[in-house]
């Protein structure tokens, strides 16, 4: 039978010739991910269930990134619990803060060469769907599922229906992957792809760099999708050849979708028609085009996270901030997504640009995104953020507001003090 990319990956890992939407399958896993919030309870379940060894110490990645560097005593205890488990189990891909290759989980796994086309990956974090940008099936699970998978190397899936997102055209200036996914979520709603696979196709795919694709797949969960996935092309292979030791030449022949694959529906998007997008509180689907709403003054800007913390994002922020100052009274926080990104920022002089403009530069951490630390909002405060969620109380007090944008809108907003089109800075007087 004909199959989509997702169905091919699932059937192969379940050792089946084919599978169809709604099938329940038991599939073998290529990689498991846990962080400092989700791994400690998984360890408790693992040990209480009588397991003493993980199925494969080279197929598990543990990353202390949410409340690390340790925010308080409780977070220190969580990290210690995970650290001791990693040592006991001899987990190969345990990343300690400050070490080479460390950073925010969904930035470092692709960057460290742990993700390959056709892989089947689960993570105890909802944004594990990021890795579909590289032609993998990846999805989030709970701590109980992670515990059982660490012991067995397998987990159950219900094969999802698929929605084809057909991309055409080219991105305008100041429009990137973040705007594409916000546009899509705004169009179909937060449950518009509920337990569906979002499969991105069309001529427009080649106009999206890897950073764009990673951002788009990262936020697939924000419209309810089980996963997001891109086809493997020259852009994918070029990225992988730089990340995987010994290089990477070609994707598996079986991975590509059949020409007559069945999709529940097709969503057509002309990239050239998209403008910089803003997701208003308190849903990622509450989107508006920049300039279509009255001036909204802000208190804080956050640039970084697993959604927009890559070197490409840092360069975009620096291009806006160079020679300019963050407006007095605005807090601007920059979070490079990994030690590698941080080091590259240092080499390129981007950190100096950020500091000279009046930004706070943080160690790689998820802290502000979930209201953990390093940017918690007080009642009534408004924040422009390049993160992926803006739910009630997401970044602090339930009376605060989070507006999701791309990097250049966020950077321009920090300079002007309100949610702003970066094109405004090109005008005389920067007004």
The pLDDT confidence band at residue 143, using thresholds 50, 70 and 90, is very high
Structure-block tokens of residue 414:
């920090």
How many residues does the structure list for the chain?
431
Question: Which residue ranges make up each domain of the chain?
Answer: 5-246+261-271, 278-430
User: Radius of gyration of the chain from Cα atoms?
Assistant: 21
Mean pLDDT of the chain: 95
Query: CB–CB of 191/198 below 8 Å?
Result: no
CA distance 105 to 309: 11
Which residues, at least 6 apart from 114, have a Cβ–Cβ distance to it below 8 Å?
31, 61, 93
Per-residue pLDDT averaged across 426-430, rounded? 59
Write down the residue that tokens 């979930």 correspond to: 370
27 contact partners, CB below 8 Å, separation of at least 6:
10, 13, 14, 120, 154, 155, 156, 157
Instruction: Dump strand ranges (E) for 87-188.
Output: 93-94, 120-123, 137-140, 154-158, 161-168
Question: Which pLDDT belongs to residue 428?
Answer: 47
Q: Is residue 383 helix, strand or coil?
A: strand
Q: What is the CATH number of domain 278-430?
A: 3.30.499.10
The CATH classification number of 5-246+261-271 equals 3.30.499.10
Q: What's the gap between Cα 9 and its chain centre? A: 21
Dist CA 332 CA 357 (whole Å): 9
Picking from 390, 388, 366, 367, the residue whose alpha carbon sits closest to that of residue 105 is 366
**Fold: same for 5-246+261-271 and 278-430:** yes
User: For 186, which DSSP code?
Assistant: H
Residue bearing tokens 């002089």:
349
pLDDT in tens, 241-255: 999 888 788 888 899
What pLDDT score was predicted for residue 248?
Answer: 86
Q: How many CB atoms lie within 10 A of CB 322?
A: 15
Assign 121 to helix, strand or coil. Answer: strand
The pLDDT tens digits of the residues spanning 252-293 come to: 889 999 989 999 999 999 999 999 999 999 999 999 999 999
In this prediction, residue 343 carries a pLDDT of 96
How high is the pLDDT of residue 249? 82
Residue 175 in this model has a pLDDT that exceeds 50: yes
The answer to whether residue 368 scores a pLDDT higher than 50 is yes
Q: Look at residue 417 and tell me whether its pLDDT is greater than 90.
A: yes
Listed in sequence order, the residues at least 6 apart from 427 whose beta carbon sits closer than 8 Å to its beta carbon are none
Do 146 and 39 form a contact (C-beta atoms < 8 A)?
yes
Q: Helices then strands (H, E): number in the chain? A: 13, 18
């Amino acid at each position: 039978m004909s199959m989509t990319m997702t169905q091919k990956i699932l059937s192969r890992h379940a050792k089946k010739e084919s599978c169809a939407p709604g099938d329940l399958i038991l599939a073998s896993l290529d990689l498991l991910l846990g962080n400092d919030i989700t791994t400690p309870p998984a360890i408790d379940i693992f040990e209480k269930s009588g397991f003493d060894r993980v199925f494969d110490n080279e197929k598990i990645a543990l990353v202390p990134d949410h409340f690390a560097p340790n925010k308080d005593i409780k977070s220190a205890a969580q990290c210690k619990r995970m650290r001791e488990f990693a040592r006991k189990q001899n987990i190969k891909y345990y990343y300690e803060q400050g070490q080479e290759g460390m950073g925010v989980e969904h930035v470092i796994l692709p960057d460290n060469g742990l993700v390959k086309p056709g892989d089947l990956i689960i993570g105890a974090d909802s944004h594990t769907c990021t890795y579909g940008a590289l032609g993998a099936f990846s999805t989030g699970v709970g701590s109980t599922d992670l515990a059982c998978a660490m012991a067995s190397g397998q987990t159950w899936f219900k094969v999802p229906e698929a929605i084809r997102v057909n991309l055409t055209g080219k991105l305008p200036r100041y429009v990137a992957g973040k705007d594409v996914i916000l546009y899509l979520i705004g169009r179909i709603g937060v449950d518009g792809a509920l337990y569906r696979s979002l499969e991105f196709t069309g001529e427009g795919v080649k106009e999206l760099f890897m950073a764009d694709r990673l951002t788009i797949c990262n936020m697939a969960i924000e419209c309810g999708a089980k996963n997001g996935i891109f086809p493997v092309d020259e852009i994918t292979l070029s990225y992988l050849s730089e990340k995987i030791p010994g290089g990477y030449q070609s994707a598996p022949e079986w991975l590509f979708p059949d020409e007559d694959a069945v999709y529940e529906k097709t969503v057509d998007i002309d990239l050239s028609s998209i403008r910089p997008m803003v997701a208003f509180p308190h849903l990622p689907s509450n989107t508006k085009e920049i300039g279509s709403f009255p001036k909204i003054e802000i208190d804080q800007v956050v640039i970084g996270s697993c959604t927009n913390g890559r070197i490409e994002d840092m360069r975009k922020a620096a291009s806006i901030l160079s020679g300019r100052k963050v407006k007095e009274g605005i807090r601007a926080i920059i979070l490079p997504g990994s030690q590698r990104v941080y080091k590259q920022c240092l080499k390129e002089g981007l950190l100096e640009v950020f500091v000279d403009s009046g930004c706070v530069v943080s160690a790689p951490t998820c802290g502000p995104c979930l209201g953990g630390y390093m940017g918690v909002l007080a009642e009534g405060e408004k924040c422009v953020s390049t993160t992926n969620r803006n739910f009630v109380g997401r970044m602090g007090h339930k009376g605060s507001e989070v507006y999701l944008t791309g990097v250049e809108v966020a950077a321009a907003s920090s300079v002007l003090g309100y949610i702003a089109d970066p094109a405004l800075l090109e005008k005389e007087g920067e007004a």
